Chain A
Amino acid sequence: MRRRGALWFWVFVGPFALGLALFTYVPLLWSVALSFFDARNTVTPTDFVGPANYTAVLGDDGFTDSLRTFLVFTAFIVPVTYVFSLSLALMVNRVRRARAFFRSVFFLPAACSYVVAALIWKMSLFSGVRFGLANTVLGWFGEDPVAWLATPDPPWYWLVIVTVRLWLQTGFYMILFLAGLQRIDPVLYEAAAVDGARPGWTVLRHITLPQLRATSVAVLLLLVVGAFQAFDEFYNLLSDARGYPPYARPPLVYLYYTALGQGQNLGFGSAGAVILALVVAVVTAGQARWLKPGRTDGDG
């Protein structure tokens, strides 16, 4: 009986597990191997170079710049999205009329791709020419048009990049917070009212936020990992027929151009990917530890 169980287990789980192993674990290990070879334009190199690729990546200013770009981006996007989506959820949760309408409107951008959003932002909303919407509004106040994406100083491009992501993902996180809010036991609020707690800040601080802890931890982890993986909007906003500007290159843009650009230096790119995987692991593990998911709102 037990042997039959094992057979059926592998009939059900085998195809998925095998595919996952083949398309995640094998490339990962292969890549680790490649990172110790001189692998230009080849995936079966013979020239062992030891840790040379690692020292080359770590010594490359482009790489350290990309980590700095990631930090700046994360410092903007994570707290802003967190506060914004939580506030929206709190407001939508308490509104009496047309709740479904508001929920849909804020969630709708999640259906768009970063490519489409970047296109709208670059070519119309924050277009650097006079007929862009932002510049048109500036024009109504007698201001000169701003080249939003082309000026590194002051770095207006951050405004463009951050608002794209904010527009696209706020609704998704709002949904997660709304689900968390629905799970809070109404008895807690009644008890607070009996104890004389006035609705507003007190209740928010002492009941709602602590009860949302598990959701908050999940949202923060997802936001940081998401920021780390940012590629689509950077690439589509900033690159043009002349290439990609030297600033605002997050890690994946850096990897894309170094590993798959001219020369296809796969050994170098693999070393970069390994270092980045380690950085992500350390950041998420540290974050998970620091936030310590308490099991306060019934999921975890």
Chain B
Amino acid sequence: MDDALVRAGRALRLVLLISLALLFLIPFYLLVRNGLSSERDITSPEWTFFPAVLRWGNVRELFDDPSVPFARSLLNSALIAVATTLGTLVLASLAGYGLARIPYRHANKVFHGILGTLLVPAAVTFVPGFVLVSSLGWVSTLRGLVVPTLFPAFACFVFRQYFLGFPRELEDAAQVDGLGYWRTYWRVVVPNARPVFAAVGTIVFLGAWNSFLWPLVIGQDRDAWTVQVALSSFTTSQVVRLHELFVAAAVSILPLLLVFLCFQRWIVAGAERSGID
């Protein structure tokens, strides 16, 4: 009796999970279906499950369309995401290591000063941030899009926690060999801390690629648009070519899906570290 109940419960759970999984995949299905359809197929009153002829030409049409700076915006996004990721990793890991390992009287005060910025939601600082960036003359420049985002307190915090738990023996051995803090860090610590770099790096990369409000405020000229700003301006413009819009959206998430599937382990680790605390 109990056994049958347990088995029924298990089957029910599986059915529920499968239905939810299908529901979660619908938006991806729409992206591919619309991106590879002709405009007429999309707007037809009869729902076609999938286009009879896959229109791969939509991709070419998108990149050939002179009214849409799509290639340029992809390039901008790639530059910004890579620069932000590398810059954040170097700056935040150095700071995290210093806070965790180098004795200094005021280290705690500095640490609290850094943590305090977590209480200031990034989005509330967008008006003052804009004020600062515009007075530096950095509006519509890559500098303005990258530099202010290189100092996320969460990344520094994650690195500090990680280095606090790092085995001291390795560093002690390096010090015996006469290596100072600097060389110990680059030769011994960094090569043995790859998991935390991968975890923070993937999270920062995803965030930089997907961020919208800051690039919208700072990247005002078309030449400084990121891919998110470009997509947004097609969505909200007067004339919308749906097939082009959807193929653009699909192209914009392709690099991310690849990163996501290859690095899922690290992203999960990063999500766990950044989510708690």
**Interface set of A (CB-CB < 8 Å, partner B):** 2, 5-6, 8-9, 11-13, 15-17, 19-21, 23-28, 30-31, 34, 43-44, 88, 91-92, 94-97, 101-102, 104-125, 129-131, 133, 136, 167, 171-173, 175-176, 179, 214-215, 218-219, 222, 225, 228-229, 231-232, 235-236, 239-241, 252, 255-256, 259-260, 266, 269-270, 272-273, 276-277, 280-281, 284, 299-300
Closest B residue to A228 by CB, please name it. Answer: B121
Residue in contact with A114 in the complex, picked from B25, B122, B212, B271, CB distance below 8 Å = B212
B209 touches A280 (CB 8 A): no
The answer on a CB contact under 8 Å between A241 and B236 is yes
Taken together as a complex, chains A and B put the C-alpha atoms of A132 and B271 apart, in Å, by: 34
Chain A to chain B: the 7 pairs with minimum beta-carbon distance, closest first: A12-B98, A31-B128, A27-B128, A16-B95, A113-B210, A9-B104, A229-B123
Q: Tell me if A131 and B16 are in contact (CB < 8 A).
A: no
Task: Flag if B114 contacts A9 (CB, 8 Å).
Answer: no
Per-residue A-contact encoding for B15-36, CB less than 8 Å = 1, 0 else: 0110011001111101100100
Which listed residue, B134, B135, B232, B242, touches A235 by the CB 8 Å rule? B232
Whether A91 and B24, one on each chain, are in contact in the complex, defined by CB atoms closer than 8 angstroms, is no
List, sorted by A's number, 10 A–B pairs whose CB atoms are closer than 8 Å.
A2-B105, A17-B110, A19-B91, A21-B113, A23-B132, A105-B24, A107-B268, A115-B231, A116-B252, A235-B232
C-alpha gap A175/B21 in the complex (Å):
15
Asked whether, in the complex, the Cβ of B276 is within 8 Å of the Cβ of A24, the reply is no
When the two chains form the complex, which single residue of A8, A25, A44, A299 contacts B276, counting CB atoms closer than 8 Å? Answer: A299
Bound: A116/B147 CA distance, A: 25
Q: Flag if A6 contacts B110 (CB, 8 Å).
A: no
Instruction: Report how far A145 CA is from B131 CA in the complex, Å.
Output: 45
A16 with B213: CB separation less than 8 A: no
Contact B128 A270 (CB under 8 A): yes
Does chain A have a CB within 8 A of B67? Answer: no
Given contacts A111-B256, A123-B235, A299-B276, 14 further A-B contacts (CB under 8 A): A6-B105, A8-B98, A23-B148, A27-B129, A44-B135, A102-B21, A108-B260, A111-B257, A123-B240, A124-B246, A167-B27, A176-B271, A229-B123, A236-B235
B37 to chain A: closest CB distance in Å? 11
Q: Which residues of B contact A17 (CB under 8 A)?
A: 95, 110, 113-114
Complex CA–CA separation, A146 to B272 (angstroms): 40
The reply to whether A16 and B92 form a contact with Cβ atoms under 8 Å apart is yes
- Across the interface, B232 reaches (CB within 8 A) one of A104, A236, A256, A259, namely A236
Is B272 in contact with A176, judged by CB distance below 8 angstroms? yes
Residues of A within 8 A of B242 (CB): 123-124
Q: Is the CB of A260 within 8 A of B246?
A: no
Query: Bound state CA distance, A300 and B276, in angstroms?
Result: 7
B130 touches A260 (CB 8 A): yes
CB < 8 Å neighbour of A5 from B45, B102, B122, B235: B102
Alpha-carbon distance between A116 and B271 when the two chains are bound, in angstroms: 21
Q: Is the CB of A119 within 8 A of B245?
A: yes
A12 touches B135 (CB 8 A): no
Say yes or no: B275 contacts A172, CB within 8 Å: yes
CA distance A228 to B119 in the complex (A): 13
> Are B94 and A20 in touch, CB under 8 angstroms?
no
Stretch touching chain A among B150-158, B170-178, B193-201:
B150-158
- Distance in angstroms between the alpha carbons of A43 and B213 in the assembled complex: 20
Known: A119-B231, A130-B45, A273-B127. A299 touches B17 (CB 8 A): no
Tell me which residues across on chain B come within 8 A of A215, comparing CB atoms: 276
Expressed in whole angstroms, the Cα–Cα distance for A112 and B253 within the complex equals 6
Residue of A nearest to B47 (CB): A136
A23 partner residues in chain B, CB cutoff 8 A: 129, 132, 147-148, 151
Instruction: Assess whether B99 is interfacial by the CB under 8 Å rule.
Output: yes
CA A299 to CA B161, docked complex, whole Å: 12
Q: Give CA–CA (A94, B12) in the complex, Å.
A: 12
Evaluate contact between B102 and A124: CB separation under 8 angstroms. Answer: no
Task: Check if B53 is an interface residue, CB within 8 A of chain A.
Answer: no
Q: Say yes or no: A43-B121 contact (C-beta < 8 A), given A112-B253, A218-B276, A232-B213.
A: no
Instruction: Tell me the minimal C-beta distance from A97 to chain B in angstroms.
Output: 8
Within 8 A of A (CB), among B71-122: 91-92, 94-95, 97-99, 102-105, 107, 110, 113-114, 117, 119-122
